[in-house]
């Protein structure tokens, strides 16, 4: 696990199941400390009237509060999805679609030189929504086939593997065409990867009500922190007259 300042955590590896509480902690390990650092810098800079420290503190606040917005794929969006226990695929797909629309709308509304980045990012998220839609449809087909896709690849039976493979090929004509043109040795790893992508790793729902309430308070407090600082800290020396 690697924590990247202002960007959250980068985690590599595979597990047989995930802890909901652990996922919350890992996701929030970037933005929440970033907000606290920003608050500390703003307060400290007000004491010594240091413009560069104030600018740095405000930058920390801005970047991390944006990251906490409940938009996919920001950390705030990831936490929002975890509150839903990652079970409502249709809702999450709509949520991702609305996030992409908001990104595009924000870019068009800003009409700034760099706003095209938001627009581009929104369109890229739209492609992700298409992938989610495809996966959602495959999961619906697997439910009809009475296949449990909430498992890991290692625990997958040969029978379920073959059923999932058939569904994947049905929904991916390009893959089916590719498989017909290559040998079994070449197609095997590709099919295994595609089947694995359809699976949903089980999550241990160990985040209790008290933990979630504390997280929500911290989340809301992060959004309110700039307003509280503006009210409690003397910023007249920094603000333009």
- pLDDT, tens digit (0-9, with 9 covering 90-100), for 2-56: 444 444 444 444 555 678 889 899 999 999 999 999 999 999 999 998 989 999 9
Token duo for residue 218: 């911290």
Residue whose C-alpha is closest to residue 206's, from 71, 5, 22:
22
Can you give the pLDDT at residue 87? 57
Contact present, 48 and 213 (Cβ < 8 Å) = no
DSSP string, 93-139: HHHHHHHHHHHHHHHHHH--TTHHHHHHHHHHHHHHHHHHHHHHHHH
User: Is 80 exceeded by the pLDDT of residue 146?
Assistant: yes
Residue 19, classified by CB atoms within 10 Å of its CB into exposed (0-12), middle (13-18) or buried (19+), is middle
The stretch 207-217 carries a mean pLDDT of 92
The structural domains of the chain, with segments of one domain joined by +, span 1-86+203-241
pTM for the model: 0.69
Can you give the pLDDT at residue 3? 42
For the chain, report the end-to-end CA distance as a whole number of angstroms: 46
Residue 37, classified by CB atoms within 10 Å of its CB into exposed (0-12), middle (13-18) or buried (19+), is middle
Contact present, 9 and 32 (Cβ < 8 Å) = no
Could you read off the pLDDT of 159-202 as tens digits, one per residue?
Answer: 999 999 999 999 999 998 998 898 888 889 999 999 999 998 77
Can you give the pLDDT at residue 8? 46
Token duo for residue 167: 């569904």
The residues facing 66 across adjacent strands are none
Can you give the pLDDT at residue 11? 45
Can you give the pLDDT at residue 1? 43
Can you give the pLDDT at residue 5? 43
Could you read off the pLDDT of 85-143 as tens digits, one per residue?
Answer: 655 777 778 888 888 888 788 778 766 656 677 788 788 888 888 888 898 899 999 99
Can you give the pLDDT at residue 2? 43
Q: Calculate Rg over the CA atoms of the chain.
A: 22
The stretch 70-79 carries a mean pLDDT of 82
User: Half-sphere exposure of residue 96, counting CA atoms within 13 Å on the CB side?
Assistant: 21
Distances (CA, A) of 32 to 63, 111, 174, 193: 11, 30, 43, 35
User: Is 90 exceeded by the pLDDT of residue 215?
Assistant: yes
The stretch 72-86 carries a mean pLDDT of 78
């Amino acid at each position: 696990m690697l924590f990247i300042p202002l960007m959250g955590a980068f985690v590599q590896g595979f597990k047989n199941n995930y802890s909901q509480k652990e996922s919350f902690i890992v996701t929030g390990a970037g933005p929440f400390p970033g907000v606290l650092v920003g608050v500390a810098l703003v307060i400290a800079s007000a004491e010594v009237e240091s413009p560069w420290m104030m600018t740095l503190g405000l930058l920390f606040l801005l970047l991390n509060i944006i990251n906490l917005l409940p938009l996919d794929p920001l950390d705030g969006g990831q936490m929002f999805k975890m509150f839903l226990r990652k079970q409502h695929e249709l809702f999450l797909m709509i949520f991702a679609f609305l996030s992409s629309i908001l990104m595009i709308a924000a870019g068009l509304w800003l009409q700034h030189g760099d706003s095209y980045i938001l627009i581009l990012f929104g369109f890229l998220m739209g492609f992700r929504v298409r992938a989610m839609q495809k996966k959602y449809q495959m999961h619906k087909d697997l439910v009809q086939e009475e296949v449990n896709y909430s498992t890991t690849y290692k625990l997958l039976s040969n029978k379920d593997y073959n059923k999932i493979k058939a569904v994947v090929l049905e929904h991916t004509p390009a893959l089916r065409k590719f498989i017909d043109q290559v040998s079994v040795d070449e197609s095997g790893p590709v099919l295994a990867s595609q089947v694995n992508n359809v699976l949903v790793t089980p999550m241990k729902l160990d985040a209790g009500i008290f933990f979630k309430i504390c997280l929500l308070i911290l989340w809301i407090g992060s959004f309110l922190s700039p307003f509280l600082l503006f009210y409690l800290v003397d910023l007249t020396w920094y603000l333009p007259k």
